[in-house]
Amino acid sequence: GEDVEQSLFLSVREGDSSVINCTYTDSSSTYLYWYKQEPGAGLQLLTYIFSNMDMKQDQRLTVLLNKKDKHLSLRIADTQTGDSAIYFCAEREQTGGFKTIFGAGTRLFVKA
């Protein structure tokens, strides 16, 4: 079945780059997303990439997609303490409905 996997924790120093990795299984996925969740809040859509793209850049965020290896990454440049949160990778099914499958989330700690 479909599955999305992420590492659980990442710790970086303020000003460094953060790279959060994700692997997924559904090769028919059309969209792949990155969401951010702060304590007590819902999910904020950060960025997304179509499955026919390799890279997308949006200000400090860079998404890389390796479709052959089913690997997605999110790079945050110049990481700030305000970036501390849980980051979820998600894939959207193309078949059998339109559900979005989420990973368990990567908790990013940014040290001042």
Please report, as ranges, the residues that interact with other proteins according to CB under 8 A. Answer: 4, 30-31, 33, 35, 41-45, 48, 88, 90, 96-105
Q: How many CB atoms lie within 10 A of CB 85?
A: 20
| CB nearer other proteins, residue 41 or residue 112 | 41
Let me know: does 25 contact 70? Beta carbons within 8 Å. yes
Q: To the nearest whole angstrom, how small is the minimum distance from the Cβ of residue 91 to other proteins? A: 11
CB proximity list for 47: less than 8 A, separation 6 or greater: 33, 34, 56, 58, 61, 63, 74
Euclidean distance between the first and final Cα of the chain, in Å? 41
| CB nearer other proteins, residue 87 or residue 110 | 87
| CB nearer other proteins, residue 13 or residue 45 | 45
- d(CA 92, CA 106) in angstroms, rounded, equals 19
Q: To the nearest whole angstrom, how small is the minimum distance from the Cβ of residue 30 to other proteins? A: 8
| CB nearer other proteins, residue 14 or residue 30 | 30
Q: To the nearest whole angstrom, how small is the minimum distance from the Cβ of residue 87 to other proteins? A: 11
Let me know: does 28 contact 93? Beta carbons within 8 Å. yes
Q: To the nearest whole angstrom, how small is the minimum distance from the Cβ of residue 6 to other proteins? A: 8
